[in-house]
């Protein structure tokens, strides 16, 4: 029998019980895929990440929802980075910035943790982002969300990130964003039919005056009606907003809000590194909720 430490972390927030909760399990080399799945089902968070093959600067990560393994989960990655920094699993340099590489099904990702702040700041450099049109229309979205079609402009495009199968669309106001119903079973059906993994809706009106965009993210195909704060959607969100002039074209850092509507507010910042290739650095903080030990 072995004992494993489980950490519950709220990502993309500096406030307890805000942001997006995730589970973290270190030293998971001895866990079978079936046990990882059972573990994730038992703790019943949207995602739990299992860390294997960890060295001082790299590791392999596997992500499980309560029902299945998924290719990538940004907020669980932030949760792991936060615990890793808190437990001093590195030798601090003079600037207290550590650089790491993580491997998952989609990419090898470049990460960093800046521990010079009172609360560590976790950052990730994104892959190149390309969005393309879909056959899915704004009227399809309106019908499946049970809202009036005029909350979307007639020329509102729905664009797809083919690497992740994420679709993006915008509305004009925070009030219109509030109208969307995440429990629509019709939305689940049409997204599954078109091979779309998640749908993200954004608007330029925000809750905080310093923010640039507010967004909502829906995962009905995973039986996750709405996700609190989603890292992997942010490079598509900012790319979409830049393509359609929803943000100041001169700004190099964008602040994005998510899930204020669902009473668990979170936020993160997106620094634009390459405007032509749509490459960004996405940064956020986290809060440790509790740890537990499991022996089996």
Give this prediction's pTM. Answer: 0.88
| Alpha-carbon separation of residue 136 from 114, 160, 167, 199 (angstroms) | 41, 10, 9, 11
Alpha carbons 38 and 289: distance in angstroms, whole number: 22
For residues 16-45, one letter each, b for 16 or more C-beta atoms within 10 angstroms of the residue's C-beta and e for the rest, the string is: eebbbbbbbbbebeebeeeebbebbeebeb
* Region label for 135, one of left (φ > 0), alpha (ψ between -120 and 50) or beta (otherwise): alpha
CA distance 246 to 173: 12
Q: What is the 3-state secondary structure (H, E, C) of the chain?
A: CCEEEEEEEEECCCCCCCCEEEEEECCHHHCCHHHHHHHHHHHCCCCEEEEECCCCCEEEEEEECCCCEECCCHHHHHHHHHHHHHCCCCCCCCCCEEEEEEECCCCEEEEEEECCCCCCEEEEECCCCCEEECCCCHHHHHHHHCCCHHHCCCCCCCEEECCCCEEEEECCCHHHHHCCCCCCHHHHHHHHHCCCCEEEEEECCCCCCCCCEEEEEEEHHHCEEEECCCHHHHHHHHHHHHHCCCCCCCCCEEEEEECCCCCCCEEEEEEEEECCCCEEEEEECEEEEEEEEEEC
Is residue 193 exposed (0-12), middle (13-18) or buried (19+ Cβ within 10 Å)?
A: exposed
Pair of tokens at residue 177 = 């964003």
pLDDT score for 95: 54
pLDDT for position 137: 84
Short-list 190, 100, 97, CA closest to 143: 190
With a cut of 70, list the residues of the chain below it in pLDDT. Answer: 88-95, 104-107
Domains and CATH numbers, the chain: 3-127+284-295 (3.10.310.10), 131-277 (3.10.310.10)
pLDDT at residue 106, as a whole number: 63
Maximum pairwise Cα distance, the chain: 61
Nearest one of 74, 288, 86 to 98, comparing CA atoms: 86
In the block, tokens 């046990």 appear at: 35
- Please give the structure tokens belonging to residue 118: 């009172």
Q: What pLDDT is attached to residue 31? A: 95
pLDDT for 64 equals 96
pLDDT value of position 236: 96
């Amino acid at each position: 029998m072995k004992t494993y430490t489980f950490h519950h972390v709220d990502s993309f927030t500096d406030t307890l019980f805000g942001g997006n909760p995730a589970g973290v399990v270190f030293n998971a080399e001895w866990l079978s895929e079936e046990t990882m799945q059972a573990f994730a089902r038992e703790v019943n968070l949207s995602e739990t990440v299992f860390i294997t093959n960890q060295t001082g600067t790299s590791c392999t990560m596997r992500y499980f929802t309560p029902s299945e393994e998924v290719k990538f989960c940004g907020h669980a990655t932030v949760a792991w980075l936060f615990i890793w920094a808190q437990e001093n699993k590195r030798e601090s340099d003079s600037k207290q910035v550590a650089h790491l590489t993580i491997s998952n099904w989609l990419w090898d990702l470049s990460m960093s943790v800046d521990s010079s702040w009172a609360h560590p700041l976790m950052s990730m450099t994104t892959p190149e982002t390309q969005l393309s049109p879909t056959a899915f229309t704004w009227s399809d979205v309106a019908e499946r969300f049970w809202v009036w079609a005029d909350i979307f402009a007639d020329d509102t495009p729905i664009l797809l990130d083919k690497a992740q199968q994420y679709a993006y669309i915008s509305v004009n106001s925070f009030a219109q964003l509030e109208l969307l119903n995440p429990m629509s079973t019709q939305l689940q059906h049409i997204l599954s039919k078109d091979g779309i993994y998640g749908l993200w809706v954004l608007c330029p009106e925000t809750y905080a005056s310093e923010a640039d965009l507010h967004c909502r993210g829906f995962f009905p195909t995973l039986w996750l009606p709405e996700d609190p704060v989603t890292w992997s959607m942010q490079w598509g969100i900012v790319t979409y907003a830049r393509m359609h002039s929803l943000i100041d074209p001169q700004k190099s850092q964008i602040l994005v809000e998510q899930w204020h509507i669902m009473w668990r507010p979170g936020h993160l910042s997106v620094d634009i590194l390459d405007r032509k290739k749509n490459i960004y650095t996405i940064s956020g903080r986290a809060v440790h909720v509790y740890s537990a030990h499991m022996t089996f």
